[in-house]
Structure 1
Amino acid sequence: MMKRSITTTSKRRKPKAPPQQLEVAIDWEVRPGGMLVQKRSPVGSDPGCATAPFINIKVSHDSYHHLLSLPSTSTFGDLKKILARETKLEAKDQRLLFKGKEKGDEERLDMAGVKDMSKVILLEDPASKERKFVDKSKNHAKMLAYDAVMKVRTEVDKLSHKVAAMETCAKNENKIVVKEVEVLTELLMKELLKLDGIEAEGEAKTQRRIEVRRVQGYVDILDNLKLAQSTNHFDQTVPAVSVTTKWETFDSRIGSLTAPKHVQTSTKITKEWEQFE
């Protein structure tokens, strides 16, 4: 009996290719101190924030209290951004105090010891308060200046109607009373002095400049009307020189053309003659 030899061939498996490593782009940022570090992901986008527990924080601001919930790995800068939406106070104007110490924007809540229902105090930066007070004072001064200019404009509007009426009379060759022109000019000059005494900025300054030019224009119109009226009056009152053919006869005597009626003299005329040797 013959034995069969069975030859078995084993299939070799191809080695698996090593898994490809994904290249992750790293964003870098420069910290205020000049150090180059990996850019921190915002709250909610950091994978670590998804696993970090959320904590509730009580923030006291003047007489108001805010209850906020955010990841424990958030920074005080992140907390300021949330408070900016709640209080309308910009993050740069906020000061956050925890356990009596002011915290920087880069400090993390959990590292500073902030836990669930911890209390944080929000204060407004004194420089911000002073800046707002100055801005408020400037705005108040601008409003007062603007109102003062508008009051002058109202008075000038009334006087402008009288100027227009005088212009119409002059165009119609009607007589204008010079005294009325002078009074109206004086009233306009008083309004011009009021404008000169108004300290204005911004829009109020622009409106004041417009009114000054407007008043000066009305004064020029009145000056021209007064000059024209004076010229017409002069032409009417000065008599014309008449030329006649009547001639006057003069004596051929030397001396005055008209002899005096009575001439007094101190010379005494006598008939006594003085003899000379």
Structure 2
Amino acid sequence: MRRFVFALSGLAFSVAGAWLFGMDVAARQVLFTGERLASGLTLLSEEAERVAAYRSNADLPCRRDVQEAALTVSLALLDHRRKDAAAGGKLDAAYAQVQQGVARTLSCFPLSGNAWMRSAMASMLMEGPVDRVFSQAEMSQLTMPREAWILSVRIPFLVALAQTARPEARDLLGRDLDTLLRYAPLGQVQSVYETLGVHGRKLMRERLEADNREIIAALDRHRLVRLDQMLEIALMSDRCARYFRRLGACVGER
């Protein structure tokens, strides 16, 4: 039995090794840097030139993890160049790299909502709230509507768009907020809420109906309670009010 377990462990290690080391150096570097950026780390100045030297997405394997990591890296490079007053023509090159990466990723995975979202972000950075930003953000919603992680990224972006006073921005944001409030655990709702500024929090609270005051209170108290638990508590309180009020058995009653 022990030999069998060791054999399985060795096989798993071999598969993992083949998966990682089967990629060339550029692909491994892109994957590693993309994971760092996705975890919340920023692109360091000394990394910028090294990242810029990576081969384009067209030269990377047509694998979702590698392609989407490359998009994350190229968007971080674009943001870095935009903040660098001496970037000059490097800024345009970084923007072109993002657009080429989006095209490559979509040729591999036409329904990549992440690629559409990154394209919208890049267009917003370089061109402002032009029409293509809204169409790309809408494509991201249509192809990846309910994934928890992308809602956490897309909603703050749509809040920024909504401040441009374009009506389609509020429509897009409203759809994502409705999805978040309907399907997400309250812990995730709180997490998104805390990333938003005053304007974003105001818009989010406007989407909450009057009978969802329990959710608003939980956000205010920073309680990490799942949404389904909140609904169950509300139902139990309603039953308690109807059937046990005379006995004073409801929670909080005397």
TM over 0.5: no
Question: What TM-score does the superposition give when structure 1 sets the normalisation length?
Answer: 0.21
Q: As a proportion of its length, which structure holds more helix? A: 2
Larger Rg over CA atoms: 1
